[in-house]
Amino acid sequence: MAISTQTHQLLELINHYPSPHNGQPIVVELVDKTTLRLYFDRARGLQATDISYLFSYVSMGVFAEHLQLSGKALGHEIALTPTLPKESELRGEGLVPFAQATVKWDASTPDGALQGVLEARQTSRKKYFEGPDAVTAKELETIAAEESMSLVQLDAKATQQAIWLNQRAVFDDLFDEPVRQELNHWLRYSKAEKETKRDGLSYDCMQINGGAMKYVVNHPKLLRTPGIGPILKQYYLRTMKDSSSVFYMLAPFQTEEQSYEIGRVVMRIWKRVAEKGYSLHPFGTIMSNVAAHKDFAQIAGIEHESREKSYLVFIFRMGKSKPAVRSERIPYQEHLLKKESTS
């Protein structure tokens, strides 16, 4: 099926969606002129920890929300019907369908400002020279509250504790072999590797020298070497001693559907952050690192967590920074399901 100009523009815009480690796990099938079928590529999702699978539904929700926002930006209305797989189906490799989208072309006036926001939105690990204003913080809290979730801003002292904790969790993960191997798989240590693979976490986006990063990932014992470990930690933290604020979100996190809805809210928050001229930096490592997760709950004063009612599902650092290094994207054409794959 030939790709129309409208479809091309939509696919180009949705290809800007965020994903863990920039793994870009979503595959799109063009069923007909108005129908898209969405798949999750398990090989591009995170699998190193048990909780990684529930967070894959968050990724699906992020993409779903980004898809609908992209349609709105271009003047189209997109209806989504989730068909979420069971958590057990996310293990291993291959594609699993998770939603179907129906596009009503030219249903409204295009929103050029929204298109610009979606194209410009980017994780920033640079030093933040200004934190969020009170009005913006309240707007973000309202976005979460509208879906019965709770977003909380830490005070300045707790923010710095959370930033240090994130650094500790990142380094501690290098001593968890499955996590270290997964991280090594997604890190891009050179300009050539970044531009060839066009996915993953690149050294310049991480604000770290690529050669040094590769050596430390392959020799994590350096992090516990007297005289060397503290220097490496200070080097990692040099861009985070700033004016940023840390937020965290609590939500029910027991089912596939709940996790998917969390992703949709995360994308709404991120869109609003970008609209107001701010950047954010997700602290995903704290979510999956058991010890760090527990310590963050203490920092935040969270006395009781339960998957059924209120669980820590999203932590991020937010503020204004100089323009971040752009992460690479695989061309959308390579994320289209080929006809022979459907047989």
Contact (Cβ atoms closer than 8 angstroms) between residue 310 and residue 159: no
298 and 176 housed in the same domain: yes
The pLDDT assigned to 339 comes to 61
How does pLDDT run across 262-295, given as a tens digit for each residue? 999 999 999 999 999 999 999 999 999 999 999 9
Number of other CB atoms surrounding residue 66 within 10 Å: 26
First to last CA, the chain: 16
User: Structure pTM?
Assistant: 0.95
181 and 166 housed in the same domain: yes
H-assigned helices in the chain? 5-14, 52-73, 112-120, 134-145, 156-173, 177-186, 191-197, 210-218, 229-237, 256-275, 284-288, 290-300
138 and 277 housed in the same domain: yes
The pLDDT assigned to 120 comes to 94
List the CATH number of the domain containing 208: 3.40.109.10
For the chain, the domain total comes to 2
Contact (Cβ atoms closer than 8 angstroms) between residue 167 and residue 161: no
286 and 171 housed in the same domain: yes
43 and 168 housed in the same domain: no
Domain that holds residue 265: 128-321
149 and 172 housed in the same domain: yes
191 and 278 housed in the same domain: yes
With a cut of 70, which residues of the chain have pLDDT below it?
Answer: 1, 339-343
The pLDDT assigned to 1 comes to 66
154 and 235 housed in the same domain: yes
The pLDDT assigned to 328 comes to 94
149 and 297 housed in the same domain: yes
The pLDDT assigned to 343 comes to 30
117 and 189 housed in the same domain: no
Nearest to 121, CA basis, from 253, 266, 334:
266
The pLDDT assigned to 213 comes to 93
147 and 293 housed in the same domain: yes
178 and 216 housed in the same domain: yes
List the CATH number of the domain containing 74: 3.40.109
Contact (Cβ atoms closer than 8 angstroms) between residue 259 and residue 54: yes
